[in-house]
Structure 1
Amino acid sequence: MDLNLPLAEVSVTSDCCSLATEVLSTHDALRYAEIFKLLGDAGRLRILSLIAREGCAPITTTDLVSELDLSQPTISHHLKKLTEAGLLTRQQSGRKAYYTIVPNLFAQLRTVLELG
């Protein structure tokens, strides 16, 4: 597996391994671990990246099916999981459901991962 991902340059300091915030509570650690586990699926990450590419504007399952090499039932399953985890919101309008990213939760995840 190639782990050479295109990441931004990071300045390394002598404090690079100290957490920027306090130690997580057991409850928070369990919650974030579940979210990160959910994000460990390539299909879900692709769905999130596609929504982000669109400026986080609402997007439908139909829009995603036309962009991704995934079936409609698979995309619907991933959207349900992402919504249940609080990463997306779902708004029904007639026969279509519109999904948007919840920026606050992603800001929390960035804080959990922030080092230095």
Structure 2
Amino acid sequence: MSPAQFFKCLSDDTRLRCVTLLQKEGKLCVCELTAALALSQPKISRHLASLRQCSLLQDSREGQWVYYQINPELPDWASPLLKNALAAVESTELFKDDLQRLQKMNNRPDALACC
């Protein structure tokens, strides 16, 4: 991944919100991101696919559910940038609202079930 690809992937507000929540929470499924961002499942899925294509995210299947997380094999220069982006975004009202919606989500997935 080139720096230009990295920044292009994060230039969309929805993708940035997804990545910062994943950076904060570690691993989330589509239903959690849908609840947190208050957006439709197709819109979230489209943005997650874009982030996967640029290698910012990786997905893993657990039973019938797909979970997303930050790719642990990002280039060395990318991880500090994501941490700094999270630090900057965490203080915004939008991020606080996203995180609050995620925390209030009923029936959040665990190791046994999802969505």
Per the shorter chain, which TM-score range? 0.5 to 0.7
Q: Secondary structure at the match of 1:98?
A: strand
The TM-score with structure 2 as length reference comes to 0.61
Normalized against structure 1, the TM-score is what? Answer: 0.61
CA contact (8 A) 1:65 1:71 kept: yes
Whichever of the two has the greater Rg, that structure is 1
Gap regions ≥5 residues in structure 1: 1-27
Partner Cα distance (2:46, 2:35) in 1: 16
Q: 1:83 aligns with which of 33, 44, 52?
A: 52
How many residue pairs get matched? 81
- Higher mean displacement: 103-112 or 61-70: 103-112
More helix by share: 2
Superposed displacement of residue 92, structure 1:
1.3
* CA apart distance, 1:94: 2.5
Residue 99 (structure 1) aligned with residue 68 (structure 2)? yes
After the TM superposition, list the runs of 4 or more consecutive aligned residues in structure 1 that deviate by more than 3 angstroms: none
Deviation at 1:110, TM superposition (A): 5.7
Q: Aligned-residue CA RMSD in angstroms?
A: 2.1
CA distance in 1, matches of 2:80, 2:21: 23
Within-5 A mapping of 1:1-116: 31-54=2-25, 56=26, 58-105=27-74, 107-109=76-78
